[in-house]
Amino acid sequence: MRELCWSLWKQRWAFFAYVVMVAVGAGMIYQVMDGYSLFEMGYRTAFVLLQLIFMLLQRERFRIILRKESAHRFYRSMPNARKKEQKRFVWLDVYCAAMLAVLLTAGIIFKNEFVDGSVPFAMVVYFLVYVPTSRIIACVPYVWWMTELVFAAVFLFVPAFDISPMLCVGTAVAVGVINVLLYRFVRKLWDTED
């Protein structure tokens, strides 16, 4: 049973990709049935996928940082070093999944509708706060962060998206705080567990 669970866990990203594909496919069918044009449908789907891709990129950055950190001889000299290293990566996945859920929920709750406008809104939140706070907590490359901030500014001031700047800033602060707290919590878990 334990081996089966472990092999399923190792395949988790394949399952995740499968779920995303089904969700996106269902979303596209729903949109077509609801009378959206092909352009609108493609544009909205692209945003959802972009957000997922950015999240995965962010996960990769953390993984690189973690791997570098674990490579330091001090970590390897600690008792149960290899077990701890594996657990850190598990905790990283938990963190990324939780953060993705927070981002999507923020988009849904604050705009109250997922399809119309909330996707670019969630992107703004992501770019404006999640990325900068992630930079602070995990030292991601500065240039990358600046590029993403420029994207955020573009999204924020495109009138077609009809996004309230105040709502954006408010949500952004909330998501930023959640990000830092969640990261600190997860970090504490992987640092203190045996």
Partner 1 sequence: MDSVIVAKGLVKKYKKFTLGPVDLEIPKGFSTALIGANGAGKTTLLDTICGIVAPSKGEVTYFGEITDIEEGETKERIGYQAAQGMYPMSWTPYDVAMANKLGFTGFHEERYWELCKKYGVASEGEKKQTLMKMSDGNRIRLCLAAVFARDTELLVLDEPGSNLDPLMRDRLCGQFREYLEEGDGEKTILFSTHNIADMENVTDYAILMYDGAVIESGFVNELCERYVLVSGERATFDKIKRSLLVEDRNMSTCFGFAKAEEKEKLEAAGTVVETPNLQQLCIFLLRYAEQQNS
Residues in contact with partner 1 by CB under 8 A are: 69, 71-74, 76-83, 139, 191-192
**CB 93, min distance to partner 1, A:** 22
CB of 81 to partner 1, least distance (A): 7
In total, the chain counts a number of residues equal to 194
Considering beta carbons, is residue 12 or 76 the nearer one to partner 1? 76
Judged by CB, which is closer to partner 1: 8, or 139?
Answer: 139
Nearer to partner 1, 11 or 80 (CB): 80
Task: Give the count of beta carbons closer than 10 Å to the beta carbon of residue 42.
Answer: 13
Nearest to partner 1 of 12, 82 (CB atom): 82
Minimum distance from residue 133 beta carbon to partner 1 (Å): 18
Q: How far is 155 from 124, CA to CA, in rounded Å? A: 6
Closest distance to partner 1 from the beta carbon of 74 (Å):
5
Shortest distance, position 185 Cβ to partner 1, whole Å: 16
Nearer to partner 1, 92 or 104 (CB): 92
